[in-house]
Amino acid sequence: MKLPITGGCLCGAVRYEISAKPIGGFNCHCRTCQKAIGAPYFAGMFVPASALVITGNYKEYASIAASGHTVYRAFCPECGTSLFGRNSAFIDIRPVAAATLDDPAIFQPQKDIWVADAQPWDTMNPDLPKFDGNPWH
C-alpha cells in the first residue's frame, strides 16, 4: 500500500492524509452508523490517530455507543459527507470512512460487525467473519 493515503469530502472543503498503514478494516451494520451515513453500513478503516492529518473545517456529532463510550462522527458542514470518527475509549485509533478515500479500492474489510442490526436487504460478503455486536469488548 502506497503512503500517504489521501481522501476528503464531496465538495473538497475537508481533506485528510494518512501517513501510516491502516490497522484494520470493518463494515459496521449498527443502526447508529446506518442513520449517520444514510447507508446500510459504514465501511471503516482504522488508522493510528497520530498518522491522520486533517485540513479544512469539519463538525462532529457526539452520541453514546452501546458500550457507554462517546463516539464522535465527523462530517463536512458544507456538503454533509461523513468522513471519520473517534471514540472516547480508544484515543489512539481513528476510523476513517473508506468511501471517502481518493482510492477506495485499497480498502480491505476484515469483518462485519453489528450484523444483528443489518437490514434484510443488505447482502454481505460471506467470506468475512460476522459478529452480532462489537467484537472488541
More confident residue, 68 or 137: 68
Q: Where are the domains of the chain?
A: 5-117
Cell numbers linked to 97: 470512512
CATH topology of domain 5-117: 2.170.150
Tell me: pLDDT of 137 over 70.
no
Whether omega for the bond prior to residue 109 falls within 30 degrees of 0, making it cis, is: no
Res. 134 pLDDT band, cuts 50 70 90: confident
Cell numbers linked to 118: 443489518
Q: What is the pTM of this model?
A: 0.92
The full 3-state SS of 35-89, as one line of letters, equals HHHCCCCEEEEEEEHHHEEEECCCEEEEEECCCCCEEEEEECCCCCCEEEEEECC
Cell numbers linked to 137: 469488548
